[in-house]
Amino acid sequence: MKKSNLEVSENKQKEVKKVVKEVNEVKPVVNEIKEVKENDIHEKKTFKEVMGNCVAKTKEFFVGFPKNTKEFFVNLPHNSKEFVKSIPNKKGFNSVASSLISILVGIFIGFLFMVFAIVFQKTASPFRGLGFVFGGPFGSSNVGYELGNMLFKTVPLIFTGLSVGIAYKTGLFNIGAPGQFLMGTMGALLVALSINTTGNRFAGVMVWLLALVVAIAFAILWALIPGFLKAQFGINEVIICIMTNWIAANLVSWVYSSLPNLKNPAVGKGGFLIKTNVTGNFTPKIGLDKLFSSRNGSFLSDLDISILIAIVVGILLWVLMNKTTLGYSLKACGYNRNAAKYAGINEKLNIMIAMGIAGALAGLGGAFYYLNPGQEMIINTSATLPNYGFNGIPAALLANSNPIGIIFTSLFIRYIESGSLNLTKAGYNQNIGSIIIAIIIYLAGFSRFFSERLDDIKKFFANKKKEQEGKLLTTEGQVKQNNTNKGGK
């Protein structure tokens, strides 16, 4: 007891000393400030004086420069530590970190698969394979061309990612994106392929716009089936979405096969529809394809303005979700449907609005992909659903459904897939990329687990820090350090 009392009094003495010291240091600074203020108010400086002052200040700066920079670098570790410490407190850090963990672990498991594949393919080299996966389009000999195609193929992914993301924010799992994608494609192609505007570019663009509108209408109607059933009867939207996917796959094939005019007449192309460049209603390219082409310009990539539209739509959706009443009421439904209802939000209407927006986005993705003059739609899709619809799920999950984040995660996913196209050079095939993405989706489901572990780690370090600080405060060294820091400033 006595000892601790002594310690306390010693500490108090030290603190008093510290305060006195600080006051002494602060006094001249305050006086200076006072003088400066008075000068500013009462004296009108001449131009020469101002310039002189300027020169003097610059001189001071340069003279003090080595010292200042030294101080900066001495303080840097401390400052950066503070900075790093401040990040985990920010809200998005955990989700970004857990996405990064998912991605890295996913790629690592893909690598393990490549190692395992040596059993069957003696010539395969997993390290080269890993290099190709990381290299994306840059592993190709035709970088510009591959980069352009990668950007173009990102477009449908951004749209389906946004579709899944918006629904997810509203508490709905839109696994129906493939079906909406197909319906949008059908709407767009029915318009774009049945009206011939070859030669008249203006009419072509007008029909193109009409095709987009019809695509949106078809896809919204399709998405409203699960949306309506969920809102009105509370039926699980996942089940209905899966059913509507397969209905769409068969319906679309049925419609295409019953329209012989749209069939590609070329030999060996009987299973496909004609391309949009035949009828002239394709997406404008405004030279982007020439910008991203092979080195000598002989191969133009498929890139068109849809990538710009996709980015703009992503930003607009971010504004919608974060800056508007509608966005907030959608999110409120996602957090707690009953609470939202209690707060006076029409939760049924909101579910339908969210599904409608989600459908429109997925449909636009399909429309933009197949309105490109280089793509052709297969007639019989009844046995397979488009991968773009499903890959929207990892794009949305990795970005934590943030619309702007989805743009980047979509680019990332396409980057990996584009890189895996080169895997044949390392003795594999492109499906390794699909494995990696499937594993990333699987891991993205763990985001809660990852962020909980991150919290644990943070707590552990915070506790350790507290203990250390508790020890340091009682030593004189800490007090001195504090004083020197303040003196420096």
Asked if residue 336 binds another protein (CB under 8 A), the reply is: no
* Alpha-helical runs (H) found in 302-430: 306-323, 325-335, 337-342, 347-371, 387-398, 403-420
Tally the C-alpha atoms within 13 A of residue 167's C-alpha that lie toward its C-beta: 31
Asked if residue 239 binds another protein (CB under 8 A), the reply is: yes
Asked if residue 167 binds another protein (CB under 8 A), the reply is: no
Give me the count of residues in the chain.
489
Asked if residue 125 binds another protein (CB under 8 A), the reply is: no
Q: Identify the residue among 446, 454, 458, 483 touching another protein (CB under 8 A).
A: 446
Span of 139-147, 250-258, 309-317, 355-363 interacting with another protein by CB under 8 A: 250-258
Instruction: Indicate if the alpha-carbon torsion angle 407, 412, 417, 421 is positive or negative.
Output: positive
Asked if residue 444 binds another protein (CB under 8 A), the reply is: yes
Tell me the C-alpha to C-alpha distance, in Å, between residue 456 and each of 203, 236, 372, 405: 61, 34, 49, 26
- Which residues are CB-contacts of 11 (< 8 A; sequence separation ≥ 6)? 474
Asked if residue 406 binds another protein (CB under 8 A), the reply is: no
Tell the smallest beta-carbon distance from residue 433 to another protein (Å).
Answer: 8
Tell the smallest beta-carbon distance from residue 253 to another protein (Å).
Answer: 5
Tell the smallest beta-carbon distance from residue 369 to another protein (Å).
Answer: 19
Which parts of 52-111 interact with another protein (CB under 8 A)?
Answer: none
Span of 36-44, 126-134, 432-440, 460-468 interacting with another protein by CB under 8 A: 432-440
Tell the smallest beta-carbon distance from residue 423 to another protein (Å).
Answer: 10
Q: Identify the residue among 449, 465, 466, 478 touching another protein (CB under 8 A).
A: 449
Cβ proximity to another protein: between 317 and 385 the closer is: 385
Q: SS3 letters for 211-277?
A: HHHHHHHHHHHHHHHHHHHHHHHCCCHHHHHHHHHHHHHHHHHHHHHCCHHHECCCCCCCCEECCHH
3-state percent helix, strand, coil for the chain, nearest multiple of 5: 80, 0, 20
How many residues form the binding site for another protein (CB under 8 A)? 50
Helix (H, G, I), strand (E, B) or coil at 300: strand
Q: How far apart (Å, rounded) are the C-alpha atoms in residues 474 and 476? A: 7
Q: Identify the residue among 93, 111, 138, 246 touching another protein (CB under 8 A).
A: 246
Tell the smallest beta-carbon distance from residue 428 to another protein (Å).
Answer: 7
Asked if 372 and 309 count as a contact pair (C-beta separation under 8 A), the reply is no
Span of 136-144, 193-201, 226-234, 350-358 interacting with another protein by CB under 8 A: 226-234
Tell the smallest beta-carbon distance from residue 434 to another protein (Å).
Answer: 4
Tell the smallest beta-carbon distance from residue 327 to another protein (Å).
Answer: 23
Work out the burial of residue 194: count CB atoms within 10 Å of its CB; fewer than 13 is exposed, 13-18 middle, 19 or more buried: middle
Q: Identify the residue among 93, 111, 138, 173 touching another protein (CB under 8 A).
A: 173
Q: What does the block give as tokens for 332? A: 């409120």
Which parts of 360-389 interact with another protein (CB under 8 A)?
Answer: 382-385
Tell the smallest beta-carbon distance from residue 307 to another protein (Å).
Answer: 25
Q: Identify the residue among 93, 111, 113, 299 touching another protein (CB under 8 A).
A: 113
Work out the burial of residue 341: count CB atoms within 10 Å of its CB; fewer than 13 is exposed, 13-18 middle, 19 or more buried: middle
Q: Identify the residue among 243, 278, 326, 404 touching another protein (CB under 8 A).
A: 243
Asked if residue 181 binds another protein (CB under 8 A), the reply is: no
Work out the burial of residue 245: count CB atoms within 10 Å of its CB; fewer than 13 is exposed, 13-18 middle, 19 or more buried: buried
Helix (H, G, I), strand (E, B) or coil at 188: helix
Cβ proximity to another protein: between 137 and 178 the closer is: 178
Tell the smallest beta-carbon distance from residue 254 to another protein (Å).
Answer: 4
Q: How far apart (Å, rounded) are the C-alpha atoms in residues 294 and 145? A: 5
Asked if residue 434 binds another protein (CB under 8 A), the reply is: yes
Span of 4-12, 253-261, 310-318, 360-368 interacting with another protein by CB under 8 A: 253-261
Tell the smallest beta-carbon distance from residue 3 to another protein (Å).
Answer: 44
Q: How far apart (Å, rounded) are the C-alpha atoms in residues 472 and 345? A: 53
Asked if residue 251 binds another protein (CB under 8 A), the reply is: yes
Q: Identify the residue among 13, 58, 69, 257 touching another protein (CB under 8 A).
A: 257
Q: List residues bridging with 293 in a β-sheet.
A: 300
Cβ proximity to another protein: between 120 and 202 the closer is: 120
Q: What does the block give as tokens for 344? A: 């006076």
Residue burial 234-244, b: 16+ Cβ < 10 Å; e: rest: eeebeebbbeb
Q: How far apart (Å, rounded) are the C-alpha atoms in residues 129 and 428? A: 8
Span of 20-28, 81-89, 248-256, 340-348 interacting with another protein by CB under 8 A: 248-256
* Binding interface with another protein (CB under 8 A): 113, 117, 120-121, 173, 175, 225, 229, 233-235, 238-240, 242-247, 249-251, 253-254, 257-258, 382-385, 390, 393, 397, 428-429, 431-432, 434-435, 437-439, 441-442, 444-446, 448-449
